[in-house]
Amino acid sequence: MTDPLLEIEDLNVYYGKSHALKGVSLSIDEGEIYGVIGPNGAGKTTMLNAIAGFVDYDGSIRYDGTDLATVSPQEIVREGLIYCTEDRDLFPYFSVHENLLMGAQFRNDRDAVQADLDMVYDLFPRLDERREQEAETMSGGEQQMLAVGRALMSDPDMLMLDEPTLGLAPVIIQDISDALERLSDQGLTILLAEQNSTFALRHAERLSLIETGEIELAGTSEEFHGNEYVREAYVGVH
Ligand code: ATP
């Protein structure tokens, strides 16, 4: 058995007196899609922020053998762990093409960067058609594609996606779905935080359900599909 790529043990986050994450533990294997589902305010974003080094925490987060508490957020990115936030954080007045190049700003393997650009445009033809369009004038779905595309330009080993389907039309969600499957087939490890449980259950091999900062249930997607509480409370809502 190989070690997990990401290993979280007894993660606790406090915002002042509020205990936002309460002893969360989980591990993610290389090459898998791992889903974290749960309602609004459950702590999903807080978990991703802790992994990315954006919030202080107690407990341990190890990525590919590195204790992430000992490295800066920039170093975490250089280690290949890339975070696509819910806000997308695009450069609004930059074109699609410029935003994509910003994702590759720390790389000096020029041929590989060009190959990744071709890969992203192939993955999202809508971006290819809009190379010169300013990011802020793109639709929500196109901006989500651009955020994922820019993350891919950093040459990630693992991608963390926070609510990639939020507010998107079904036809765009399908495009994101297809892209995730292709990336997963290429061996990318993906941590998918979603309120849209149906979407997460469709893609993730294993999942955790977080409610009020605690993991209430963890298991395979088959186990989640078969769980009456999950079905009643979460599936079919979207
Ligand atoms: P959503 O899907 O709405 O983003 P979530 O599961 O990602 O929900 P979090 O955003 O992690 O949940 O929030 C978990 C809890 O922590 C919530 O009660 C939230 O109000 C609180 N919280 C998040 N960020 C902060 C902050 N910077 N300061 C204080 N409280 C915060």
CB 48 within 8 A of CB 191: yes
Among 37, 45, 57, name the best residue to mutate to test ligand 1's pocket (greatest count of ligand atoms within 8 A of Cβ): 45
Provide mean pLDDT across the span 75-97.
93
Residue 35 has a pLDDT of 98
Nearest-5° angle of CA 32, CA 35, CA 41? Answer: 155
Residues in the chain: 238
Q: Is residue 63's pLDDT more than 50?
A: yes
DSSP-assigned beta bridge partners for residue 84: 161
Q: How far apart are CA 182 and CA 78, in angstroms?
A: 23
Q: Is residue 226's pLDDT more than 50?
A: yes
CB 221 within 8 A of CB 230: no
Q: How far apart are CA 161 and CA 37, in angstroms?
A: 12
CB 217 within 8 A of CB 224: yes
Please tell me which residue, 80 or 237, carries the higher pLDDT value.
80
Overall CATH class of domain 6-80+156-235: alpha beta
Quick: pLDDT tens for 134-192. Answer: 999 999 999 999 999 999 999 999 999 999 999 898 999 999 999 999 999 999 999 99
Residue 106 has a pLDDT of 85
Average pLDDT, rounded, for the chain: 94
Q: Is residue 107's pLDDT more than 90?
A: no
The separation between the first and the last C-alpha atoms of the chain, rounded to the nearest angstrom, is: 37
In the chain, residues under CATH classification 3.40.50.300 are: 6-80+156-235
Residue 234 has a pLDDT of 86
What's the gap in Å between 191 CA and the centre of ligand 1? 18
Please name the residue that has the structure tokens 């963390």: 160
| pTM, two decimal places | 0.93
Residue 13 has a pLDDT of 98
pLDDT band at residue 76 under the 50/70/90 scheme? very high
Nearest-5° angle of CA 74, CA 77, CA 81? Answer: 150
Q: Is residue 1's pLDDT more than 80?
A: no
Q: How far apart are CA 74 and CA 201, in angstroms?
A: 31
Q: Is residue 237's pLDDT more than 60?
A: no
Atom 9 of ligand 1 has which residue's CA nearest to it? 43
Q: How far apart are CA 83 and CA 191, in angstroms?
A: 9
Q: Is the CB of 45 inside a 6 Å radius of any atom of ligand 1?
A: yes
Q: How far apart are CA 69 and CA 59, in angstroms?
A: 9
pLDDT band at residue 238 under the 50/70/90 scheme? very low
Its ipTM equals 0.89
Torsion of CA 87, 182, 53, 17, to 10 degrees: 60
Per cent of the chain over pLDDT 90 is 90
Provide mean pLDDT across the span 208-236.
92
Q: How far apart are CA 114 and CA 86, in angstroms?
A: 27
Q: Is the CB of 15 inside a 6 Å radius of any atom of ligand 1?
A: yes
Please name the residue that has the structure tokens 């891919």: 152
Distance of CA 170 to the CA centre of its chain: 19
User: How many angstroms separate the Cα of 69 from the Cα of each of 47, 51, 52, 79, 213?
Assistant: 14, 9, 10, 13, 20
pLDDT band at residue 236 under the 50/70/90 scheme? low
User: How many angstroms separate the Cα of 58 from the Cα of each of 13, 39, 49, 75, 210?
Assistant: 7, 23, 13, 20, 18
What's the gap in Å between 212 CA and the centre of ligand 1? 10
